[in-house]
Amino acid sequence: MIEELVYVTHSPEETMALGRALGCLLQGGELLALEGDLGAGKTHFIKGLAEGLEVTETVTSPTFGLIHEYRGRVPLAHFDVYRLDSPAELENLGYEEYFFGAGVTAVEWSDQIRDYLPEECLKICFTVLGSQERQIRFTAAGAAFRDLLAELEKAFGALPVSQREHP
Ligand SMILES: Nc1ncnc2c1ncn2[C@@H]1O[C@H](COP(=O)(O)OP(=O)(O)O)[C@@H](O)[C@H]1O
Ligand SMILES: [Mg+2]
């Protein structure tokens, strides 16, 4: 059971590969809470994630539309809450259906709606380290996500820069 797992990727493709490795492991019902500045790689990661979920459509950034839904092995809902005027706007979007539903939901800028996130989720923080380097830190909230991180560590080729076991 891994509580925290950190990778550094060196290209957009590597970030997508990490997303793909995670996507392959998801079964539906998971919420992925992504944080990080503009250009940190959140959307690229979700592009890979979608591939792992066998989505065939092209994933594009939903900044202006707020939610994109894709059909895959399980449904994928992609939120970008950067442009919400207030967190309460989420309620008008019927967010519960996604956040507590049977599909996979990935939320960019999730730190802006922290109070609305389920207790059990996977936080994924993106940090720009250099022009091509991105640190990607996974933090599991809940036992199921700690198991998932253990599986991800086995499945993804590259070595993590650090990992922390559940005490
Ligand atoms: N290691 C990397 N991982 C992801 N993106 C990278 C990486 N190195 C450079 N980039 C570039 O950074 C940008 C990331 O964009 P995007 O995924 O849309 O970020 P966000 O959704 O966080 O705003 C792209 O222009 C991409 O080419
Ligand atoms: Mg984005």
Ligand 1, atom nearest to 40 Cα: 22
Say if residues 34 and 126 touch (Cβ distance below 8 Å): yes
With bands split at pLDDT 50, 70 and 90, how would you rate the model's confidence at 85? confident
Report the separation in Å between the CA atom of 144 and the middle of ligand 2, taken as the mean of its atom positions. Answer: 26
At 65 the pLDDT is 63
**pLDDT of residue 86 exceeding 90:** no
**pLDDT of residue 3 exceeding 90:** yes
| CATH for 2-158 (3.40.50.450, 3.40.50.300, 3.30.420.40, 1.10.1060.10) | 3.40.50.300
Q: Show me where the domains of the chain are located.
A: 2-158
Q: What is the best residue among 13, 44, 107, 124 to mutate for testing ligand 1's pocket, by most ligand atoms within 8 Å of CB?
A: 44
At 62 the pLDDT is 79
Q: In the β-sheet with 76-80, what is the strand arrangement from edge to edge?
A: 67-70, 76-80, 104-108, 31-35, 121-128, 134-141, 2-9, 162-165
Ligand nearest to the CA of 78: 2
**pLDDT of residue 14 exceeding 70:** yes
The better pLDDT of the pair 66, 128 is held by 128
At 64 the pLDDT is 63
Report the separation in Å between the CA atom of 108 and the middle of ligand 1, taken as the mean of its atom positions. Answer: 13
Ligand nearest to the CA of 39: 1
Report the separation in Å between the CA atom of 131 and the middle of ligand 1, taken as the mean of its atom positions. Answer: 9
Summarised one tens digit per residue, pLDDT across range 23-76 is 999 999 999 999 999 999 999 999 999 999 999 999 998 766 679 999 999 999
Largest interatomic CA distance in the chain: 42
With bands split at pLDDT 50, 70 and 90, how would you rate the model's confidence at 89? confident
Buried b (16+ CB within 10 A) or exposed e, 16-50: bbbbbbbbbbbeeebbbbbbbeeebbbbbbbbbbb
User: What is the model's pTM?
Assistant: 0.96
